Chain A
Amino acid sequence: MNPRTRRLLEIVLDNLVWFMLIFVLAIFSAFVPNFFQLGIFANIIEASSVLGVMSIGLALVIITGNMDLSVESVAALAAMSVGVLFCSAGIGIGVTLHPEWLMVPASLAIALVVGGLIGAINGFFIVKVKMNAFIITLASYIWVRGLVVAVSGGRSAQDLAPSIRWFGIQRVLGIPLTAWIAIACFVVFSLIMAKTPFGRHLKMIGGNEQATFRAGIRVTRNLLIAFILAGAIAGMAGWLLTIRTSGATANLGVGLLFNAFAAVVIGGISLKGGVGSLPGVYAGVLLLSSINTAINLMGLPANFTQVIHGLLVLAAVLLDTLKQSIRHKLA
């Protein structure tokens, strides 16, 4: 094999999920009636904003060879915190600030801090006390959701302050601001992962933690930051969720965790750690969102979405194995 075809093949392998996305979009455009419209594509992007942001945090932690099952509950807690404070109906206490726009950064800051705090608790037990990440974050997944139910008393908050709600309605180039925020997050974190020493270190920790420790990288500190970031990003996803639904319910976002996992795996991130990049995850999120939209348009019962998502994850893992064996032949 000459070097050029080899490099071409490498590029295809590295970006396989994007090719899958294009392929699936082409198929849907050709065979699903009414699919090929700008409005539909904008819809796909919009519907993927919350899941997309949540997947970033999950991906960061998985790349380091760890696990965070708590992102869904953390998003819900952040959403509930914002909901209770800034909603005026239901259990909302309707805090108002002057000038009104101040509520936007204030609510975002609250969501980030709530998320970051849970992330720090996870990180402390996993990194400092050296407990198993799976168990610790499973515990958080349960107790944080419990906290959401307890705080809300099972009731909901409605009527989010209009100045925050504005984000959910405003569109730029036909795409809602919330989706732009998700895209901006992907760009920023992709750059961090690919271009900064911090991102490089996270990836290397996922590859061989002991080697990075011996090389003098501050593994504990880096991992702690990764968990805090994952929590804060999940908090941001919760903030977007409140904006989209203009309130918060006790069961807000249930099931998002598994979609986030699916997106991360489909996006080419190995659960063993150290492998994968964030742009792929965004493609994975868009892929899931496209399939949901197609199912809706075809009028299939929504119950099938879950079956298809499951099969898709299976296909993604199979593909990953296939990719690895091709790479071995390339080397």
Chain B
Amino acid sequence: MSEPLLVLDNIRKNYGAIEALKGISFSIDKGEVVALLGDNGAGKSTLVKIIAGGLEPTSGRMLFEGKEFRARSPAEAKDAGIETVYQDLSLCTNVDVVANFFMGREITRKFLGIPVLDERAMEREVAEALANAGTRIPSLRTNVEHLSGGQRQAIELNRFVHWGGKLVLLDEPFAALGVEQTRRGLEMIRHVANQGIGVVIITHIMQQAFQVADRIVVIRQGVVAGDVATSQTSPDAVINMITGEAVAGAGPVG
């Protein structure tokens, strides 16, 4: 096995006297899907934000593709190839689907040396990406505020599939999706992972974790309470890790 894609080494995050993360260590391989589980307030979202550049860790080390890595802003994480889908607030509802899809990476043409938005090229690419994913949205030029919750989340999911990168972080991506869309979303994740992209997915739904993940990492009270291959554990064992009742098969406690 080659080197892991991302290694977290003893990541800590303090908010004043409160220790949100008390030394998290685990790693993600290329093409691997890791489900991050844990109760509310366990520190999952904090961890994702640290990897994605939204927060800085108090201490600890990250290795990305074998090199020391610390993103000071989401822009830096993106440049390194880390895409993030948050559970909330990641679309600008006041602009259209195309603008959201390309947020921050607009295709431009130079006109007298000034970058000008190339709307046609962008619209073409979005139409193609959505068609490939089987997502139907009536008009790409409607503002996102007029779209349903499911359609909005579909845009976000398609966005990460399209941009890919090297590592994708998904923070409860299916919260607003119906059964059929969730199934398609899970397929998208497998599809992305098959291209060699690492995926970290936070979810509350055990069934989803077992459907899609190669490995399950449980975080409890700011530490890794379990790190096991999906094939070697069971939903009941994982629930016990989340709640803190140690059972056989829970893997090493870190």
Q: Report which of A200, A203, A215, A331 forms a contact with B90, defined as CB distance below 8 A.
A: A215
Q: Report which of B74, B108, B145 forms a contact with A214, defined as CB distance below 8 A.
A: B74
Does residue A213 face the partner (Cβ distance < 8 Å to B)?
Answer: yes
A184-219 interface (Cβ within 8 A of B): 195-197, 200-201, 203-204, 206-208, 210-218
User: Does the CB pair A216–B75 fall under 8 Å?
Assistant: yes
User: Does the CB pair A207–B95 fall under 8 Å?
Assistant: yes
B41-96 interface (Cβ within 8 A of A): 52, 54, 73-75, 77-79, 84, 86, 89-95
How many A-B pairs have beta carbons closer than 8 Å: the answer is 81
A257-280 interface (Cβ within 8 A of B): 274-275
Q: Which residues of A contact B92 (CB under 8 A)?
A: 203-204, 207-208, 211-212, 274
Q: How far is the CB of A198 from chain B (nearest CB, A)?
A: 8
Q: Which residues of A contact B95 (CB under 8 A)?
A: 200, 203-204, 207, 274
Q: How far is the CB of A62 from chain B (nearest CB, A)?
A: 13
Q: Which residues of B contact A331 (CB under 8 A)?
A: 142, 145-146
Q: Report which of A208, A218, A274, A327 forms a contact with B75, defined as CB distance below 8 A.
A: A218
A293-331 interface (Cβ within 8 A of B): 327, 330-331
Total contacting residues, chain A, CB less than 8 A: 24
Q: Which residues of B contact A274 (CB under 8 A)?
A: 92, 94-95
Q: Which residues of B contact A215 (CB under 8 A)?
A: 74, 78, 90, 103-104
Q: Report which of B74, B77, B89, B117 forms a contact with A196, defined as CB distance below 8 A.
A: B117
Q: Which residues of A contact B103 (CB under 8 A)?
A: 204, 211-212, 215, 217
Q: Report which of A196, A207, A217, A330 forms a contact with B104, defined as CB distance below 8 A.
A: A217
Additional 5 contacts, C-beta under 8 A, given A203-B92, A214-B86, A215-B90? A203-B95, A207-B93, A207-B95, A208-B90, A217-B104
Chain B contacts to A: CB under 8 angstroms: 52, 54, 73-75, 77-79, 84, 86, 89-95, 99, 103-106, 108, 114-117, 142, 145-146
Chain A contacts to B: CB under 8 angstroms: 195-197, 200-201, 203-204, 206-208, 210-218, 274-275, 327, 330-331
